[in-house]
Amino acid sequence: MSQSDYVIVGAGSAGCALAYRLTEAGRTVTLIEFGGSDRGVFIQMPGALSYPMNMPRYDWGYSSQPEPHLNNRRLATPRGKVLGGSSSINGMVFVRGNRKDFDHWAASGATGWGYEDVLPYFKRMETWHGGESAWRGDSGPLHITRGKRRNPLFNTFIKAGQEAGWPYTADYNGEHQEGFGPMEATIWKGRRWSAANAYLRPARKTGRLRVIRALAQRILLNGTRAFGVEIERDGKVEQITAGSEVILSAGSINTPKLLMLSGIGPEAHLRDHGIAPVADRPGVGANLQDHLEIYMQYKALKPVSLYTYYNLLGKARVGVEWLLQKTGLGASNQFESCGFIRSGEDIDYPDIQYHFLPLAVRYDGKAAAKGHGFQAHVGPMRSKSRGTVRLASADPAEAPEIRFDYMSHPDDWKEFRACVRLTRQIFDQPAFAEYRGDEIQPGTEVQSDEQIDGFIRKHAESAFHPCGTAKIGQPDDPQAVVDPDLRVIGTGNLRVADSSVFPRITNGNLNGPSIMIGEKAADHILEK
């Protein structure tokens, strides 16, 4: 296949969806991805989710600059470097976001991106295995399932949320997000149903997709019009040209980096690195947002947690069952119940999210406590803090400088303290009486605002949801990077389609809305 109609950079959540929809419509696509195959057992087995995100083979290995409000810690910022992108190394949790998230996008300048505009794409992309629903899709490439909640702690958490005064939500991706209920996952027949499995494999079957494994170095521009991408492959620099357009789907860290390497970004910053500005867009790499969370952990009074399997023999048994039958604990991400609540009566829609886990463990897979335990990951959803992605140098091989500036807004502290206190209320409910032992962390001695703040500074971790670094807005908004058709303002034949374009972070995990961006981008490109 010679020149393709479209060149897409990045085979992640949005890039795979976009490649599939363009090839399905008869267009030819070249997809550039630096990472390799996603066929490894650690990626495909849901229960092994803590491994791929800590493997240099699958992860870019980024971390933040020292975070001044978090004891100058550098926080890990894993990003998928593999077919499927971060959908191949994430926790597989599926959350669309709240209706009001998208209505806020539309009101802030992302015309045509309100809830009623994006709902058809959420429905088109999924096959939901939860029965019939006017809110859900039944024939899309992405399978959405629920864990079986065999462990009694999952339903105990849902019951405790109700005892604490919150509603039950039968489907937080449907009509009502608020409340406690079963959690959904991109898992199908016991396997991780990543964007590579859902979209890339069918796209390849069309014969109209070429996947190139290479490092994208910069966008090729004729004046301000994009005509291709410069890549480095096997030590050689090559040019991949596009008949129609170039689309960046390299994610919220690498997309702004590529734009800046190509002369699109804040003019003074580009000049500092000896890059000739092509389009002065101060919003490139700005508006960086993420979700922070802490783990509230308790000892269990009964041997009901996954700790039974938390040894070499137990893990081997789980692994063998999964390899032979794709069933058992290995077939679940173990996030099977959840909650979305409001931190106060004055908040108009949920701003706190819970992932419940029947084990006291760290995200890197190391046990937090000897013995049985359980935990809730909890954090605020709409932090007002904003950070930046900046070039460290003009060398495309060098990692960019990532500054989240976490907890730089005073409201973040108020919301996080509410997270701690509300979580304690939930675990103090009668439902947990037979299971709840001592609080492992923060620990009962952590009570005052100052003590809670100290715990957050020391222990808050990223939920790995970076976004917003090339936001959708009106062309006259100096901070906007793409217009509502996702075209990079001030250029031609160049678009962005990934989580960079979020004007504001959504409620929950970002894989779902990132795939939606790829789906909707295809219709903008095809002028549907």
CA dist., res. 291 & res. 353, Å (int): 10
CB 15 within 8 A of CB 498: yes
Question: End-to-end alpha-carbon separation of the chain, Å?
Answer: 26
Name the nearest CA neighbour of 14 among 142, 168, 149: 142
> Which residue in this structure is represented by tokens 């009962």?
444
91 is in an annotated binding site: yes
For β-strands 494-496 and 236-248, DSSP reports them as parallel
CA dist., res. 373 & res. 304, Å (int): 8
> Which residue in this structure is represented by tokens 């550039």?
32
Q: Where are the beta strands (DSSP E) in 172-254?
A: 179-182, 184-185, 187-188, 191-192, 209-213, 215-222, 225-233, 236-248
- Tally the residues of the chain: 528
- SS3 for 144? strand
CA dist., res. 441 & res. 296, Å (int): 6
Burial bucket for residue 50 (CB in 10 Å: 0-12, 13-18, 19+): middle
CA dist., res. 168 & res. 362, Å (int): 28
Element (H, E) at 135: none
CA dist., res. 452 & res. 447, Å (int): 6
DSSP string, 145-189: EE----SHHHHHHHHHHHHTTPPB-S-TTTT--SEEEE-EESEET
How many helices, marked H, and strands, marked E, lie in the chain? 13, 25
90 is in an annotated binding site: yes
CB 21 within 8 A of CB 29: no
CB 308 within 8 A of CB 358: no
82 is in an annotated binding site: yes
Q: Is 372 a catalytic residue?
A: no
304 is in an annotated binding site: no
Q: Exactly one of 104, 291, 377, 465 is catalytic; which is it?
A: 465
CB atoms under 10 Å from CB of 19, counted, come to 33
Cis previous bond, 182, omega within 30: no
Helical segments of 299-448, H only: 312-325, 410-427
CA dist., res. 192 & res. 326, Å (int): 11
User: Hey, which residues are catalytic here?
Assistant: 465
Binding residues: 82, 90-93
Binding residues for FAD: 82, 90-93
